[in-house]
Structure 1
Amino acid sequence: METLNNIVLTIQHYLADYILIIALLLGGLWFSFRLGFIQVRGFGEGMRRTFGGLFHKKGEAGADGMSSFQALATAIAAQVGTGNIAGAATALAVGGPGAIFWMWIAAFLGMATIFAEAIMAQKYKQVGKDGEITGGPVYYIRAAFKGTFGKVLAGIFAVLIILALGFMGNAVQSNSIAAAFHTAFGIPQAAMGVVIAILALFVFVGGMKRIAKVTETIVPIMAALYIVGALIVIIYNYKNIPYAFHAIVVGAFNPAAISGGAVGATIKLALTKGVARGLFSNEAGMGSTPHAHAVAKVDHPVEQGFVAMVGVFIDTFIVLNLTALVIITTKSIPTGKTGAELSQYAFSTLYGKGGDIFIAICMFFFAFSTIIGWYFFGQANVKYLFGPKAVKVYSFLVAGCVVLGSLAQVDLVWNMADCFNSMMVLPNILALFALSGMIKKVHDDYYHNFLRNKKK
C-alpha cells in the first residue's frame, strides 16, 4: 500500500506541477487570443445574465434541462468546495502570499477555457435514452476524434471522472465536513457521515429537478454567508489591507522580500502552487463543469459561455480571494499551520471559538454542495457508459462512499482522487484544442448572425 501510494504521489507530482500547468495555461492563453479576450468583452454580459437569473429565475428544471442560472449554480456548487478554505491556505503556507497573484492569472486565463468548454458542451449535448438532456466532454471528445480513438478517449474520461469525483472525491468532501464538525461541536465523524449520506441520497433520488432546486437555493446562501463572515475579519484588520496586496504582488516575484512569508517560499513555489490551486479550484479545463452547462436552456451556446465565466470569477476572485485576504491580513501564515487549520486559526483571531464553528458551517455548505455537483457530473458519465438504469446503483454507491469517507482519511484514496482528477484533464484539453476551429465558429456565429437576427 505504501509503495502504491508513493507511485501515485510521484505521478501526481509530475502531472500537477508540470504537465497540467503547462497544458492549462497554454489552453487559457490560446483561447484568450483566439476569442479576442472574451473574458473581458463578455464579462458584463455574463454578470447581467447571472444576476438577472438570480433575481428573475425563469423555468423549472426537468427533462429538457435547467435554467441558465440553475446550471451555473450547479457548476459553482462543484467549484466552490473545501479547496476554497483549505486549498488557498495550503498555497499560502507553501508558496507565500505571491501564490495568490498567480491564482489571479490562472483564473483570468481559465475564464476563456471554461467559455470554450461550455459552448462545446452546449453544441454537442444530446437527449439520453431516458429522454433527459445530457452532455459533457464525452460527447465533444467523440466529435473531436472520430472512430475508435475518440470512443476510447471518451471512455477513459468517463471512468476517471466517475472515480475521481463521484466516488473518491465525494469521500474527501464528506471527510472535510465530518472533521470540521467534530472539531467545532464534538460530533462523532461516523454519525456526521450518515447524516450527510442521507441528505445527499434524498437529493440524488429527486433527479435533475431536485438537484437544480437545491443548488440554486444553497449556492447564494453559502456565498453570502462566507463573504460577510470574511469581510468582517478583513475590515476589522483594515490597516493590513495595503500590506496584503503589497505582499501578494511583491511576493509573486520576490518572496524573500515579504516579511512573515512562508519559510523557504520561492518564485517557483509561488507560481506552481498558486497556478495549480487556482486551476483546480475553479475547475476550468478539467472537464467537470461542462456537464452542468450542457443542460442549460439557452437560445445560443455562447450565452451559457458568458455565464460559465462568471462561475470562475466567483470561485477565485471572490470566495478564494477572501480566504487569502483573511489569512494575510490577520498575519497567520507564520504560525506554521496549513490547510483548513490555517483558515480556522485566521478566523479565530476575531471570532475565537466561533471561528471553528464558522468554518464548520461554511465547510458543510461548501462540501455538501460539491457532493451534489460532483454526483451530477458522475451521473452523466454513468449514463453514457452503462445507461440510465445504472444511475440508481450509482447513487447508492456514492452515498456509501460519503459514509466511508467520513470515518477516516485514507491517504491512498485521497491521493488517487487527486491523481485521477488530474488525469481527466488531458483528454478534455486535447479535445478542446482539436475543436478550437469549431469554438471560434460558434463564437463568431453568435456575434455575426445570432445577435443581428435577434435585433431584427
Structure 2
Amino acid sequence: MMEWLTSINNFVWGPCMLVLLFGTGLYLTVGLRFFTFRNFGRGLRHAWAGRFIRSDKGEISPFNALMTALAADIGTGNIVGVATAIFIGGPGALFWMWMTALVGMATKFCEILLAVHFREKTPAGNWVGGAMFFIKNGLGPRWMWLGSAFALFGIVACIGTGAMVQGNAIGGVLEASFSVPPFATAGVILVLSAAVLLGGVKRIAAVAGKVVPLMAVLYVFMAIIVIVMNIDQVPAVFGMVIRDAFSPAAATGGFAGATIMMAIRMGMARGIFSNEAGLGTAPMAHAAAATNSPLTQASIGMLDTFIDTIVVCSMTAFAILVTGEWTSGVQGAALTTGAFEHALPGFGAMMVGICLSLFAFTTATSWCVYGERCAIYFFGDKAQWPFRIVYCLAIPTGILTQLDLVWLIADTCNALMAIPNLIAILMLSPVIFKLVKEHEASFRAECDKDE
C-alpha cells in the first residue's frame, strides 16, 4: 500500500503538477498585465490600514486574515523544506523558488479575489469562501462535484498535514532540542490548541495577528545576524545561486551535485509547498475578512507569498549557504540547525528549535480554519464544533504516533486540492480580468486617499 501511495504521490507532485502551477501563475501574471507588481506598494498600504474592521461583511480584520494565511504558510517548509531543496537541488534551487513565488503572487491574488467575490454568509453568521464556493457560485451547479472533491481532499489534508504532521514536528523538535518527553508535549499542546481553536476563526485570527509578526521578525532577525557575520560570502553566494540555476552544480564536500532540472524541480516544489500558491488554502481565511472590496483583500493576500518565500525562505537559504553548511552532507532540519549553530554556538540550535515549534503550532491552528470551512461546505454550521474537537485531538495524536502513512495520504490530498482549484481559476479567468479592470481605478483612488 505504501508503494502504491508513493507512486501516486510522486505523480501528483511530479513535473506535470509543477508545470500546471507555474504555468497558471505565469498566465495570470501576464493576463493581469503585471498587476501584482504594479500595485505591490498599494497592497502593503492596505494591509497596514486593514488592522481594523471597517465593514460588516466579514468576521476578522483584513490584516488578521493575512496573518492567519501567513501562519499556515510560514511553517516547517521554511526551515526543513528550504534545506531539503538546497541539499538535493543545490544553490540554484533558491532562484527557482523566487520565480515560483513571483508568479505565485498572481495565482494567490486571483484565488483570493474569487473567494471574496463569491463568498457566502451562513445562517450562523460565518463568512465562508474558497474554491468549493467559487466553483459552486461561479461555474454553476453542474460543476459542484469539482468543488466537493476540493473540500473532501481539503478535510483529509487539514487533519493530516495541518494537525498530525505539525504536531509530530513539534514533538520531535522539543524532544531533540530540549529533551521534553512526547507525552508532556502532547498534554501541553492539547491545552493550548483547545484554548485557541475552540474560539473559532476570530480567536485563531486574533492569535495569528499577534504571534505571526513576532515569530517571523524573530526568525528573520536571527538569520540576518548569521548573514552579517558572514557578509563577505554574500556576493559569492548570490552569484552561485544565479549560476547554478542555469548550469549543473558540481559536487563538493558532502553535496553530491545537482542537474539543472533537479534545481528547477526542487526549487519549484519546495517553494509551492511553503507558500501554498495555487493550492486553494489561503482564500478560505481571506473570505472571512471584513472588507467590501475583493480586489483590496486580494492585493493584501498576495503579500503572503512574497513574505513567505522571498523573505523568510531566502533568509534560511542564505544562512545555510553563507556558512558553508550546505556541503556538510546533512539535510532537513539538521542542515538549518547546523548553519545557525555554526554562527551562533550554543544558541543557534536552540533558537531554531523554538522557531520551528512556533511555526508548526501556528500552522496547525490556522489549518483548522481551512478544514472547518470544508466541513461547513458539506454539513453546514453544525459541523463546526465536531470538527474543532476532532482537530484538537489530532494534533497531540500526531506527537505520539509514527506518521509515514498519514503524511503520504495527506500530502497526496494536498496536491489533489490544487487540481480543482486551478481548473476553476483558469475557467473563471475572464471574470477575474473583468473584475480587476472594473475596480482598478477605484482601488487606486482608495489607496491615494489613504496616503
Flag whether TM exceeds 0.5 (same fold).
yes
Within 5 A, what are the aligned runs for 1:277-316? 277-316=270-309
For residue 30 of structure 2, the aligned residue among 33, 36, 40 is: 33
**Residue 359 of structure 1, CA deviation:** 1.2
Residue 163 of structure 1: aligned partner: 156
Distance in 2, Cα, partners of 1:450 & 1:110: 21
Residue 202 of structure 2: aligned partner: 209
Aligned AA (1:397) = V
For residue 133 of structure 2, the aligned residue among 127, 139, 144 is: 139
Distance in 2, Cα, partners of 1:285 & 1:268: 22
Classify the secondary structure of the residue corresponding to 2:14.
helix
Whether contact under 8 Å (2:171, 2:182) holds in the other structure is: yes
Distance in 2, Cα, partners of 1:429 & 1:270: 24
**Residue 42 of structure 1, CA deviation:** 1.3
Distance in 2, Cα, partners of 1:145 & 1:60: 30
Within 5 A, what are the aligned runs for 1:224-235? 224-235=217-228
Whether contact under 8 Å (2:78, 2:312) holds in the other structure is: yes
- Bigger mean CA offset, 413-422 vs 348-357: 348-357
TM-score (norm 1): 0.94
Whether contact under 8 Å (2:219, 2:355) holds in the other structure is: yes
Using a 3 Å threshold, how does the CA distance of structure 1 residues 206 and 371 change in structure 2: closer, same or farther?
same
Residue 18 of structure 2: aligned partner: 21
Residue 60 of structure 2: aligned partner: 66
Whether contact under 8 Å (1:39, 1:111) holds in the other structure is: yes
Unpaired runs of at least 5, structure 1? none
Within 5 A, what are the aligned runs for 1:335-350? 335-350=328-343
Distance in 1, Cα, partners of 2:415 & 2:290: 30
Distance in 1, Cα, partners of 2:187 & 2:448: 54
Whether contact under 8 Å (1:247, 1:258) holds in the other structure is: no
Identity %: 37
- How many aligned residue pairs are there? 449
Using a 3 Å threshold, how does the CA distance of structure 1 residues 142 and 361 change in structure 2: closer, same or farther?
same
**Residue 12 of structure 1, CA deviation:** 1.4
**Residue 428 of structure 1, CA deviation:** 0.2
Distance in 2, Cα, partners of 1:63 & 1:401: 32
**Residue 216 of structure 1, CA deviation:** 0.2
- Bigger mean CA offset, 30-39 vs 192-201: 192-201
- The question of 1:248 aligning with 2:241 is answered yes
**Residue 380 of structure 1, CA deviation:** 0.7
Distance in 1, Cα, partners of 2:135 & 2:67: 25
- The question of 1:77 aligning with 2:74 is answered no
RMSD between aligned residues: 1.9
Residue 180 of structure 2: aligned partner: 187
- Bigger mean CA offset, 443-452 vs 232-241: 443-452
For residue 440 of structure 1, the aligned residue among 430, 433, 442 is: 433
Per-residue CA deviation, residues 131-190 of structure 1 (Å, 9 max, x unaligned), is: 221111111111343234x22111111111111023443211111111111111100122
Whether contact under 8 Å (1:63, 1:131) holds in the other structure is: no
- Bigger mean CA offset, 162-171 vs 120-129: 162-171
- The question of 1:327 aligning with 2:320 is answered yes
- The question of 1:49 aligning with 2:46 is answered yes
For residue 91 of structure 2, the aligned residue among 90, 97, 100 is: 97
Unpaired runs of at least 5, structure 2? none
Residue 400 of structure 1: aligned partner: 393
Using a 3 Å threshold, how does the CA distance of structure 1 residues 434 and 180 change in structure 2: closer, same or farther?
same
Distance in 2, Cα, partners of 1:168 & 1:212: 20
**Residue 242 of structure 1, CA deviation:** 1.1
Whether contact under 8 Å (2:250, 2:257) holds in the other structure is: no
Whether contact under 8 Å (1:183, 1:356) holds in the other structure is: no
- Bigger mean CA offset, 346-355 vs 411-420: 346-355
Classify the secondary structure of the residue corresponding to 2:347.
helix
TM-score (norm 2): 0.95
Per-residue CA deviation, residues 379-433 of structure 1 (Å, 9 max, x unaligned), is: 1111111122222111121122111111233211111111110111000000000
For residue 388 of structure 1, the aligned residue among 381, 393, 416 is: 381
Aligned AA (1:50) = A
Residue 8 of structure 2: aligned partner: 11
Whether contact under 8 Å (1:61, 1:212) holds in the other structure is: no
Within 5 A, what are the aligned runs for 1:399-438? 399-438=392-431
- The question of 1:236 aligning with 2:229 is answered yes
Whether contact under 8 Å (1:60, 1:209) holds in the other structure is: no
Classify the secondary structure of the residue corresponding to 1:353.
coil
Classify the secondary structure of the residue corresponding to 2:190.
helix
